[in-house]
Amino acid sequence: VSRYLDINLIGARRSADISGTPAAVATSQPPSGSWPARRGLFRKYLLLFIGLVSAALLINAGIEIAFAYRENQAMLARLQSEKADAAAQRIAQFIGEIERQMGWTTQGQWAAGSVDQRRFDYVRLLRQVPAITELRQLDAGGKEQLKVSRLAMDVVASGTDFSRDPLFSDALAHKISFSPVYFRNESEPYLTIAIAGSGRNPGVTVADVNLKLIWDVIRGLQIGRNGYAYVVDRQGRLIAHPDISLVLRNTSFAMLPQVAAGLREMGGGTSVPLPSGSNTNSTDMKNSGMRMLSAHATLPALGWLVFVVVPRAEALEPLYESAMRTAVVLLAGLVLATLVALFMVRRMVGPIRLLQAGTARIGAGDLDSRIDVRTGDELESLADQFNTMAGQLRQSYSGLERKVAERTEELHESLEYQTAISDVLRVMSQSITDIAPALQTVVEMAVRLCHASQASIFELENGVYRWKVGHGLNAAYRDIEAGTDITVGSDTLVGRVAVTGHAVHIADALSDPCYRPTNEARIGIVRSMLGIPLLREGVPVGVITIARAVVEPFTEREVEMLTVFADQAVIAIENVRLFREIEDKSVAAEEASRTIEAAYRELKAAQANLIQAEKMASLGQLTAGIAHEIKNPLNFVNNFAILSVELLNELKEAAAPALALLNNDQRAEIGEVTGMLTSNLEKITEHGQRADGIVRSMLEHSRGSSGERREVDLNTLIDEALNLAYHGARAQDQSFNITLERDYDADIAPIEVNPQDMTRVFLNIFSNGFYAATRRARNGEDAGFVPTLKVTTRDSCEAAEVRVWDNGTGIPAEIRDKLFQPFFTTKPTGEGTGLGLSITYDIVTKVHGGSIAVDSNVGEYSEFTIRLPRKP
């Protein structure tokens, strides 16, 4: 039920939304869950009914069939036994008839009759008993007296001795004797019967009986439709069978279970008068795939067993028929039970379905519907209760509906309010820098939601409140408001709000005793007014007001709402303020970071310079030390070499007279030796001085700047150095040629440098440039290549900059770091000391506090840039 109520509520709400009439609900579908439930009940009861009736019928039928089966089995056994008895009776009759016919030929006086008479009688016997093939008359001594046959010629008094024949003696002893069954001509079953005569000295009549004639007897027995009888002897050999082939084939049935059982039984030797009663219950046998029932009876005198077999299916036919009948009755019963069950369950489930449909209708909201069940039982009373409940539900429903409408209205309002707030927030987020749109939205929303005619926001600036934005104001009133600075005081709404710091409600501006600007109020058509302070951290920064053109005091709810709008306005104002502050601060921070970054870069450069300088200084000290140590021995070498030359000259002068005494050859030889000595010494001097030069420059390197500084024109200094270098190079190599390009900054201010040192610097760099350009020209560049060296000077206020560019071979990147190290050179041995650029570096960095940088592209150009600061 609760689920239906839920659905009902939702339905009612929806209907209220759409059409506002609850009647629309009645058309809604019943819940889909109701169908399986109905089916379940119907099926359950139906199955229960059918199941019960079926079970009863089935059990009944089962018991009936079981009993019928047992009775049938018993009857069958009885019937079979009777049939077996009957069959045995017939066989016994057959044999008995032969005996009876033979009987009168065994009498004593008959045997004494004439041969012709006896023969005649025998022929007659043959005529009467077709089964007898041959007859013999034996006298008391066992001698054959007469033989009459159907097949052969008759024999009279052959005298053949049969006295040893067991049949003969047996017949004498027991009056009658039967031979075992034997086969003539392979296939003809025969039985010999010997009957002893009565009276004194009796003879014996012996008859050969063709047992094939029993076939007619066996065939004559009607045993069911497909049943038959057969006879076996005491060895289990077949004597008679409807299928004569089996007999002719001399078949043994001793292996068949029922025959074996029968033979065992007969072996027990119960001498029952002929024929014996059957004493075997039916046993099953399998014959050519068909299950057979068999029974037997014995013929003890002959030692034969007579079997009667009937196919099981045939024997059980009555049972099957009765089972079939039962099944038909059962089926009919089931059908009837099903129909009755269907009818009854329909009768029962029908009202329940009505009830269900009715409740579903009520559940779906159709409270006017009534359940019409007229069964006069519990179901009807249940339906009545449902009807009553529906009526009550209908009553409570109307109240509920009203509440729902109210609640919906509230929800609608709050939704609108939420939308308004979100609108304000949206506008605020869109205009971060400008406050006006946000405040405008606030006043618009305030007018709409508080059902006011107008709204304004005033902001506190320099102790007075000024009108900022408004909505719904007429132009005149807005001009008044915009042109007025409102001070704190209870004579105006804004002032009063500022004074109290709380919401102020003026029910009617015209009747309020303290409210002063009543004229303005009339112009603005305001009567009921409401003001709320805009508080930032408890301090008023402005006021929001709303007003109505009629006297209609604002509700508590509207006050609350306006308070929220006031908060929104404060947030908006605050946002803009904060945003601006942050903006200012971030600009300042950006500047600061730029400054820091520059300082950091300078610091980094200075550090690199310092490291390089330190490295160079230590190398320079090392160099100076070495130079100093070498200089003394070198001085000895040089001085003594010069002295030796002088001494040699003295020796030549002193030895001149002595030489004259010598012959020419000797003289020439001595002259040659002295010449060589002189030249050797000159070479020592020359190279010694070169070494001295190297040492000196090393010492210079370490010594640092010696000369004084003065202000010079850098362009002039460079030009002089350039000329000097060019002519020096021409002096060394006549073929030397290079294009010189000068790009001087004419406005370059005089700079304070050590001119000698700087001249050395430039000479070094220029000569390196010449060397590189020349080498590239000689290294097989094409004819169009013009070796060029370009000098550029530039001035900035802090430093002068000189660039020396050549289109020489360039400097590979891997050796650029080593370039300024002492003794590093790429020139062949003897051409450079490896100190030139090292000294240059020292001079620029240490002496002048400047910097030197290299830029190069191998195979294209090299460029040295020297920066000389004006204030080192």
Partner 1 sequence: MRRRDLMLLCVAAIGWRSPASALQEPIPRIALLSPRSDAEESVNAFRRGLRELGYVEGNSILLEIRSSRGDNERLPGLATELVSLKSAVVVTNGGPASCVTQDAAGSIPIVMSAVDDPVGLGFAQSLVHPGGNLTGLSNLPEGLVGKRMEMLLEAVPDPGCVTGLHGHGEQAGDPLYWREISTAAQTLRTDELPTAVSQISREHCRAVMVMSSALYVSARVQLVALPARHWVAAIYDNRLIVDAGGLMSYGPDTNDMLRRATTYVDKILNGAKPGDIPIEQPTQFEMAINLRTAKTLGLALPPSLLLLADEVTE
Binding site for partner 1 (CB under 8 A): 116, 119-120, 123-124, 126-127, 130, 133, 149-154, 185-188, 210, 212-213, 243-245, 248-250
Comparison of 149 and 788: residue with beta carbon closer to partner 1 = 149
- The residue among 249 and 870 lying less far from partner 1, judged by its C-beta, is 249
Q: Smallest distance, Å, CB 212 to partner 1? A: 5
Of the candidates 219, 220, 223, the one whose C-alpha atom is nearest the C-alpha of residue 309 is 223
Contact, 363 vs 31, CB < 8 A?
yes
Structure tokens that stand for 592 in this block: 């600061």
Q: Least distance (Å) from partner 1 to the CB of residue 56? A: 21
Nearer to partner 1, 219 or 234 (CB): 219
The residues, any chain, with a CB within 8 Å of residue 140's CB and separated by 6 or more, are 201, 202, 203
CB of 131 to partner 1, least distance (A): 8
Q: Dihedral, CA atoms, 498, 503, 505, 510, nearest 10 degrees?
A: 10
Pick 249 or 505: Cβ nearer partner 1: 249
Minimum distance, C-beta of residue 183 to partner 1, in the bound complex (Å): 9
* Nearer of residues 2 and 245 to partner 1, judged by Cβ: 245
- Could you tell me the maximum CA-CA distance found in the chain, to the nearest angstrom? 219
Smallest distance, partner 1 to C-beta of residue 149, A? 7
Residue 99 C-beta: closest distance to partner 1, Å: 20
Give the DSSP letter of residue 845. I
Cα 326–Cα 330–Cα 333 angle in degrees, nearest 5: 140
State in angstroms the smallest separation of the CB of 243 from partner 1.
8
**Hey, which bits of 316-364 come out as E strands?**
none
**Cβ closest to partner 1, residue 127 vs residue 742:** 127
Q: Cβ 186 to partner 1, closest distance in Å?
A: 5
Q: How far is the CB of 3 from partner 1 (least distance, A)?
A: 33
What CA–CA distance (Å, rounded) separates 826 from 810? 12
What are residue 866's DSSP bridge partners? 802, 852
175: DSSP letter: S
Cis, bond preceding 351 (omega within 30 deg of 0): no
List Cβ neighbours of 133 (8 Å cut-off, separation of 6 or more): 149, 150, 151, 190, 208, 209, 210
Q: What share of the chain is helix, strand, coil (3-state, %, to 5)?
A: 55, 20, 25
Question: Given the structure tokens 């089935």, which residue do they identify?
Answer: 58
d(CA 223, CA 227): 5
Q: How far is the CB of 210 from partner 1 (least distance, A)?
A: 5
Closer CB to partner 1, residue 152 or residue 476?
152
Closest to partner 1 by CB, 219 vs 478, is 219
* Alpha-carbon distances of 816 from 615, 805, 837, 852, 853, rounded to whole Å: 15, 16, 12, 12, 10
Closest approach of partner 1 to the CB of residue 314, in Å = 17
Q: How far is the CB of 250 from partner 1 (least distance, A)?
A: 7
Tell me how far, at minimum, the Cβ of 150 lies from partner 1, in Å: 6
Pairing of β 788-795 and β 739-743: parallel
Do you know the residue count of the chain? 872
Nearer to partner 1, 150 or 730 (CB): 150
List, in sequence order, every beta strand (DSSP E) within 197-256. Answer: 204-210, 228-232, 238-240
What's the distance, CA 332 to chain centroid? 58
Task: Cite the DSSP H helix spans in 431-555.
Answer: 436-449, 475-482, 493-500, 518-524
CB atoms within 10 A of CB 20: 10
Closest Cα to residue 710, out of 679, 754, 740?
754
Nearer to partner 1 by Cβ, of 28 and 133: the residue is 133
Tell me whether residue 188 or residue 520 sits nearer to partner 1 (CB atom): 188
User: Of 173, 168, 212, whose CA–CA distance to 194 is shortest?
Assistant: 168
Rounded to whole angstroms, the Cα distance separating 177 from 212 reads: 20
Nearer to partner 1, 244 or 261 (CB): 244
Distances (CA, A) of 839 to 94, 484, 816, 825: 164, 82, 16, 13
Helices (H) and strands (E) in the chain, counts: 21, 25
Q: Closer to partner 1 by CB, 31 or 130: give it.
A: 130
Give the nearer residue to partner 1 in terms of CB position, either 119 or 136: 119
From CA 572, how far away is CA 584, in angstroms rounded? 19
Which residues have CB under 8 Å from 162's CB, separation 6+? Answer: 136, 138, 142, 143, 144, 168, 204, 206
Query: Minimum Å distance from CB 319 to partner 1?
Result: 22
